[in-house]
Structure 1
């Protein structure tokens, strides 16, 4: 695959996976705009293999979309020779570098905060009802954190690619 085709594939992978990842957060905000604490009775749901498989698949797509988005973004910067400047927030690469750091924080939040707690809420990992209820609040806050972080992330990504910040 030539460099131009590789760049195009990376751009589209980054864009489409980002839509899935960030879109999942925005969808969550629309579906449940305020936090409504779960009750123990809410956790007594369908434990069929089919239901659990669907839950796992949905959350798996969301989690892995974060990895694809992040990886494709880093590869694009690397391919263009811009990764060192972005990492060090130098010159015109500073905005995209800030966006990269925000995206990294968001991905780590998905994998190391949201997902471990969500597995308990969904019953994929055994936990007492009290722990599942506690974890539901953590997953809500973790998801909302990523939703809020996506606003400056998108700003810095656009500013990095299209100007918008007076950095030389």
Structure 2
């Protein structure tokens, strides 16, 4: 479980960081980018693999919850009890991030990619939402990683 959690977490969070590093001044797509499916910006968007990223969030979350359950820590972490509070906070942040991927980013991304019918104006609006949603997860990953590490390396300081 630990390796599944670790490797899937690298894929999931790494996707966010690589997006920021590769395109620090990225701007949402414009109507001109979306009118022609052969435009360079639209093709670059299509060529990125979002499937691994989405499913890595599920594997990471499930493996983390299973590890907490295996150790008998799930209830304590969920209740933010004592030295399990830091890992519990990390668990809640990770849950918010996964829900953001599946219930905010992905439904809007499907419209941008043309997988769900939407007009150009709607696709442009959704492009902005996916951008902000992705950047939100990137920023949330910083405290997430802190609290996950604090859970096993210093939770007594916070508990």
Matching of residues 1-168 of structure 1 within 5 Å: 10-43=1-34, 44-46=36-38, 55=46, 58-163=49-154, 166-168=157-159
Post-superposition Cα deviations, 1:107-132, rounded to whole Å, max 9, x if no partner, equal: 00000000000011111111100000
Q: Does the aligned pair in 1 maintain the 2:86–2:155 contact within 8 Å?
A: no
Structure-2 change in CA distance of 1:118 and 1:165 (3 Å): farther
Return structure 1 stretches of 4+ with deviation > 6 angstroms.
none
Report the Cα offset of residue 165 of structure 1. 5.3
Unaligned runs of 5+ in 1: 1-9
Report the Cα offset of residue 60 of structure 1. 1.3
Unaligned runs of 5+ in 2: none
Post-superposition Cα deviations, 1:128-162, rounded to whole Å, max 9, x if no partner, equal: 00000000000000000000000000000000011
Q: What is the TM-score with the length of structure 2 in the denominator? A: 0.90
* Inter-partner Cα distance in structure 1 for 2:86 and 2:14: 22
The count of corresponding residues between Structure 1 and Structure 2 is: 154
DSSP-derived class of the 2:158 partner: coil
RMSD: 2.0
* Inter-partner Cα distance in structure 2 for 1:129 and 1:111: 22
Structure-2 change in CA distance of 1:56 and 1:108 (3 Å): farther
